[in-house]
Structure 1
Amino acid sequence: MTRIPLRPLARILQARAKGENPDAIERENLRLRHEAMRDRSRARAEGRLLVLGLAFVCAFVTVGARMGTMASSTPAEPRASARGAGIVAQRGDILDRDGRILATNMETYSLYAHPHQMIYPANAARELAKIFPELDAAKLEKRFTGNGKFYWIRRTMSPEQRQAVHDIGDPGLLFGPREMRLYPNGPIAAHILGGTSFGTEDVSYAEIKGTAGIEHSFDAELRDPANGGKPLQLSLDLTVQAALEQVLDGGMKLMHAKGASAILMDVHTGEIISMASLPDFDPNDRPHLPTSGHPDDSPLFDRSIQGIYELGSVFKIFTISQALELGLVSPDTMIDTRGPIRWGRFRINDDHPIGKEASVSEILIESSNIGTARIAQMIGAERQQQFLHKLGFFVPSPVELSEAAMTKPNWQTNWSDLTTMTVSYGHGMSISPLHLATAYAAVANGGRLLKPTLLKQTAPQEGERVMSEATSAIARQLLRKVVTEGTASFGEVPGYDVGGKTGSANKLRPTGGYYEDKTISTFASVFPIRDPKYTLIVMLDEPYTFIYGENRRTAGWTTVPVAAEIIRRIGPLLGLRPYVEPQRVADITLSSN
């Protein structure tokens, strides 16, 4: 805004020249300025009054229109827009490494009765017994005609069962909405997933709580509302898991075994791609814990993690690897293999003597207990224990399962010279197949011990170094020779360069000593041995097969063929391209006519 001066110099000089009073000019300009200010204030006030008036008009029109609408509408009771006592936060799904569902939630209904509201209790009891065969019609009728006012019939039911109950038409049979945990693949990966049960519940709500396996270990995370139902992704491959379980089940039955387990692990990331224990169960209908007998008689027992066994000659590669690492031997070092080795009243023998002396390579290929014991004597008890500590054989497996944390390896408290020798070939110390898989992964990957995991990883692990890359490379070559020249000849799978070691150990009696006719047979393998990617542990509990007129119980006859078939089946599923050794092109001679 331009302000006009009250005493403009030009007019003042002009007025003085004419003899007029200059103050009159100032008074006149001051009056004009005040009048302009009053005009602007009046216009601003009038504008505000107009806006306020329009706002009042709009408000009254809106209120009037709403009142008119409500007056002309049909009266109705108000309804809550949100669910009442429903599930507030959905439990997160569990997925395999490719995003396929392993565990999810399903909406279902509970069934309960108000006997005092029932019209035909006897008829309702008979019809319910037809729909649910596990129910007893007589007991139901007795409850329905008693003095009780509430009775649980079913916590969950299928849609077909709900419709059948609805068709009974009795007003005393009522339904409550709820969710249940669903495992769409049935018994596949049952021991890993574990299972759930209902915690706090009423007729329209049930809290789902993990009771075993991954469901228990990650229960808080799966139930946490802050995660918004975010799924938990595992390292498992559902396709590989299904194929492995199918072959393992067939092998267990073919070899007349009591049970079986298998673990497939990525040697660079520590991821468990597949892990199975047989017999298994369906987590959709999880059986009850046994109250008597041996734990491994129950299908709930996980032999891969909870099973603690003397695994036999699969330990020999650890003894030889440590001796190589310490510089005590080389693959060609000759070792005295004359026997037996006597220690007090105990004797160490070989099932098949291999002569007065043999190289370290031959000791592993022929699986000589005497030769391995001699090497262990060179190492000594203290250094042997230190190495086994590095391999994790004295602590529970760190895998993400609560069952693993409660399962600790077993060993001789008095670690004598005899213990040093027997442990060198897998007797006198009991570990789980998962411990063995972790240690064989270290042998295969260049000497680093990785933490086994059931969660999908995005990068390889570093791990603690337990042996040099040079020692690891020699050990892999020796394992390959066991398959091509030694006790695991049935383990050869063309194109996959399998290397591994067999182990057969008599089972321990609960009262002490060993069974003569019951063994734990194991094959620990690595493939492809030229560029190791996976380790596979297969164990059969009390296997035997009748060949050449006698029962064969050793791993070379029982477990190795099963492991070979597993590798043959899962190799393509893992994306492993079979390696074909290029053949030499025949010499061509050119001749001119």
Structure 2
Amino acid sequence: MIRTPLRPLARILQARARGENPAAIERENLALRHERMRDQARDRAEGRLLMLGVMFFAAFLVVGVRMGSLAASDPSEPRAATPGAAIVAQRADITDRNGNILATNLATHALYAQPPNMIEPGRVARELAAIFPDLDEADLLKDFTGKRKFLWIKKKISPEQMQRVHDIGDPGLMFGPREMRLYPNGRLASHVLGGSGFGREGVSSAEVVGRAGVEKAFDGWLRDPANGGQPLRLSLDLTVQAAVEQVLAGGMRLLDARGAAAVLMDAQTGEVVSLVSLPDFDPNERPRPLTKGDPSESPLFNRAVQGVYELGSTFKTFTVAQALEEGIVTPATMIETKGPLVWGRHRIRDFHNYGPQLSVTDVLVKSSNIGTARIVQRIGAERQRDFLGRLGFLEATGLELVEAPSGKPLLPPKWTEISMMTISYGHGLSASPLHLAAAYATVANGGYRVTPTILAGQGRRGERVISEATSAAIRTMLRQVVSRGTATLADVPGYAVGGKTGTADKPKPTGGYYKDKVLATFVSVFPANAPRYVLVVSLDEPEDRTGPEHRRTAGWTAAPVAGEIIRRAAPLLGLRPEIETAGGFGVTLAAN
């Protein structure tokens, strides 16, 4: 910018020479400068106004196009969610191994209210309370006459309820489409299925999410559209599950037990054919979890998977199997059973006096604590722990339920020699009935470890744990436990049941054990000559009052319940009854 001097020297000299006032020149130059500055400011302002006008035009153009687009599109409910995250309502079915529906979807409606649009809030509140007894008329009226503009009334209603609400005829009551989860078999397999609920919701759709069981474990898979609606196929057999639940519930009532659990497993693959925990619940109306007290008192608690218990004499089978496998004993080896067996301040006793000696076979058949402790002394604590680890007793089972990781066995803080001895007959180590079923499948199926699974076709045999010869010897002993030992009430003609009873005193929360409360367990394999299935039945505080004396041992409680389950379930599993010969496991087909 070239500045014009206010008093140019040449002009001033000329003006003085002519006798003019030089200040006039300065005023003239100042006026020219101000005029030029006004022109520049006007140009800048006009440019800015032009730019602002273009911006406003562009903004109004965008808004107008968007409004036209919205006016031409179908109305939709805004979502309170992350932009671009749509609500996926569709969920795949769940079936049993034979394709029977365990969980499916049902089209229904949700009921909501827009109080500002209501004509008669008092009448609406009164009639809704009559249709839905769980709603309070006073609370509804308070909500309808308050400041709320939107109110959920019921998340899902039946067609009959929808018609009755429609008959109220108030414009403030609205219906939204829903896809709810339906469990058509009610309580059947409730702990396996778990249940579901609503996640994100809008008035036109809702997201169904798993709350527990396989519904939660496979939540992502069940909601994945890439699966094309293919159902999740479980290893459960619906008819067998119904039979097991019915018999177990009957046994629980007859024996006045606080709870019960049963696991029926394919001995060759580890597939769970039936899994029951009582008391149970209806997944269509899943109850709320307990907020205080013992979680195991809730019907939501899965005793078969989450519950870890001292399983008593059922562990003696593993002690004998390890001793046979390592060549420490044979079935005929004589073991000292004279008691009590004293170890420091501890005394180990038998339920009956079995005399000074028993064979290894009879130690298992008669269930001698002293004999089992004597056998494990020859094995040693370190090798015992390693063997139980290979049977799966040192970790959670890995079953495809969200509850399974919480069923991790409780181990002694130090695996001392006295711990080794008590663990040999089922005290001092707590595990779930599912652990027990998998371990018995391993020792009975020829010695191959199995991993429990709830999915059809996913069962696999793992590493060899014991030899076929040891497995055959154990099967023979387990058959004798039922034919002449502590579990004769579990015998089912035609199915050669083998098994082992276990009666464990229940521990007190404050330490020590109850004198009159037990956990009775019976684990069976059938047919014992070529095991196809393993069944574990566990009863919490059972008591047989049919005789002159009250009996709590597993031979009088869990064993007969298991026998009835086998009698009912074996034909459903496709097993034909066979006639046992006097020579052992040679069989002939029974006449039709």
TM-score (norm 1): 0.83
* Aligned-partner Cα distance in 2 for 1:340–1:320: 20
* Aligned-partner Cα distance in 1 for 2:399–2:423: 24
How far the C-alpha of 1:470 sits from its partner, in A, is 0.3
1:573 matches 2:572: yes
Task: Show the counterpart of 1:246.
Answer: 246
How far the C-alpha of 1:87 sits from its partner, in A, is 6.0
* Aligned-partner Cα distance in 1 for 2:77–2:242: 39
Q: Could you list the per-position Cα deviations for residues 181-236 of structure 1 after superposition, in whole angstroms to 9, with x for gaps in the alignment?
A: 11000010000000111111121121111110000110111111211222100000
Task: Show the counterpart of 2:173.
Answer: 173
1:232 matches 2:229: no
Task: Show the counterpart of 2:267.
Answer: 267
The 3-state SS of whatever aligns with 2:201 is: strand
Q: Could you list the per-position Cα deviations for residues 290-348 of structure 1 after superposition, in whole angstroms to 9, with x for gaps in the alignment?
A: 01111111000000000000000000000000000000101110001111111121100
Greater mean deviation of Cα atoms: 308-317 or 116-125: 116-125
Task: Show the counterpart of 1:539.
Answer: 538
Task: Show the counterpart of 1:487.
Answer: 486
Task: Show the counterpart of 1:319.
Answer: 319
1:193 matches 2:212: no
Task: Show the counterpart of 1:29.
Answer: none
**Kept after mapping to 2: 8 A contact 1:337/1:357:** yes
Task: Show the counterpart of 1:94.
Answer: 94
**Kept after mapping to 1: 8 A contact 2:503/2:521:** yes
1:369 matches 2:362: no
**Kept after mapping to 2: 8 A contact 1:187/1:283:** yes
The 3-state SS of whatever aligns with 2:209 is: strand
Letter in 2 for 1:532: P
CA RMSD after TM alignment: 1.8
How far the C-alpha of 1:81 sits from its partner, in A, is 12
* Aligned-partner Cα distance in 2 for 1:350–1:312: 13
Task: Show the counterpart of 1:123.
Answer: 123
* Aligned-partner Cα distance in 1 for 2:388–2:144: 64
The 3-state SS of whatever aligns with 2:550 is: strand
Task: Show the counterpart of 1:556.
Answer: 555
* Aligned-partner Cα distance in 1 for 2:429–2:548: 33
**Kept after mapping to 2: 8 A contact 1:87/1:178:** no
1:347 matches 2:354: no
Gaps of 5+ in 1: 1-76, 585-593
Letter in 2 for 1:217: A
**Kept after mapping to 1: 8 A contact 2:252/2:542:** yes
1:488-503 → structure 2 map (5 Å cutoff)? 488-503=487-502
* Aligned-partner Cα distance in 2 for 1:349–1:251: 30
How far the C-alpha of 1:283 sits from its partner, in A, is 0.3
Q: Could you list the per-position Cα deviations for residues 67-110 of structure 1 after superposition, in whole angstroms to 9, with x for gaps in the alignment?
A: xxxxxxxxxx9775999989645111101000111001111111
Q: Could you list the per-position Cα deviations for residues 398-422 of structure 1 after superposition, in whole angstroms to 9, with x for gaps in the alignment?
A: 1111211122100111111111110
How far the C-alpha of 1:451 sits from its partner, in A, is 1.0
* Aligned-partner Cα distance in 2 for 1:245–1:179: 29
The 3-state SS of whatever aligns with 1:187 is: coil
**Kept after mapping to 2: 8 A contact 1:194/1:214:** yes
**Kept after mapping to 1: 8 A contact 2:88/2:206:** no
The 3-state SS of whatever aligns with 2:171 is: coil
**Kept after mapping to 2: 8 A contact 1:381/1:416:** yes
Letter in 2 for 1:490: L
The 3-state SS of whatever aligns with 1:389 is: helix
The 3-state SS of whatever aligns with 1:307 is: coil
Letter in 1 for 2:403: E
Task: Show the counterpart of 1:382.
Answer: 382
1:404 matches 2:398: no
**Kept after mapping to 2: 8 A contact 1:89/1:228:** no
1:36-435 → structure 2 map (5 Å cutoff)? 80=74, 88=88, 90-435=90-435
Task: Show the counterpart of 2:28.
Answer: none
**Kept after mapping to 2: 8 A contact 1:87/1:179:** no
The 3-state SS of whatever aligns with 1:92 is: coil
* Aligned-partner Cα distance in 2 for 1:382–1:93: 47
Q: Could you list the per-position Cα deviations for residues 411-454 of structure 1 after superposition, in whole angstroms to 9, with x for gaps in the alignment?
A: 11111111111000000000000000000001111001111100
TM-score (norm 2): 0.84
1:444-523 → structure 2 map (5 Å cutoff)? 444-457=444-457, 461-523=460-522
* Aligned-partner Cα distance in 1 for 2:582–2:401: 48
**Kept after mapping to 2: 8 A contact 1:261/1:303:** yes
Q: Could you list the per-position Cα deviations for residues 508-541 of structure 1 after superposition, in whole angstroms to 9, with x for gaps in the alignment?
A: 1111111111100000000011121000000000
**Kept after mapping to 2: 8 A contact 1:95/1:103:** yes
How far the C-alpha of 1:139 sits from its partner, in A, is 1.2
* Aligned-partner Cα distance in 2 for 1:353–1:427: 20
Letter in 1 for 2:543: Y
Letter in 1 for 2:561: V
* Aligned-partner Cα distance in 1 for 2:76–2:472: 64
The 3-state SS of whatever aligns with 1:473 is: helix
* Aligned-partner Cα distance in 1 for 2:502–2:89: 49
Q: Could you list the per-position Cα deviations for residues 538-567 of structure 1 after superposition, in whole angstroms to 9, with x for gaps in the alignment?
A: 000010011432211100001111000000
**Kept after mapping to 2: 8 A contact 1:197/1:208:** yes
* Aligned-partner Cα distance in 2 for 1:581–1:451: 31
Letter in 2 for 1:250: G
* Aligned-partner Cα distance in 1 for 2:561–2:127: 49
**Kept after mapping to 2: 8 A contact 1:89/1:225:** no
The 3-state SS of whatever aligns with 1:454 is: coil
The 3-state SS of whatever aligns with 1:250 is: helix
* Aligned-partner Cα distance in 2 for 1:428–1:121: 64
**Kept after mapping to 2: 8 A contact 1:118/1:170:** yes
Q: Could you list the per-position Cα deviations for residues 147-170 of structure 1 after superposition, in whole angstroms to 9, with x for gaps in the alignment?
A: 221111011111111111001111
Greater mean deviation of Cα atoms: 89-98 or 238-247: 89-98
* Aligned-partner Cα distance in 1 for 2:496–2:521: 19
* Aligned-partner Cα distance in 2 for 1:289–1:494: 43
**Kept after mapping to 2: 8 A contact 1:89/1:229:** no
Matched length: 507
Letter in 1 for 2:203: V
Greater mean deviation of Cα atoms: 141-150 or 166-175: 141-150
* Aligned-partner Cα distance in 1 for 2:577–2:332: 31
Letter in 1 for 2:229: G
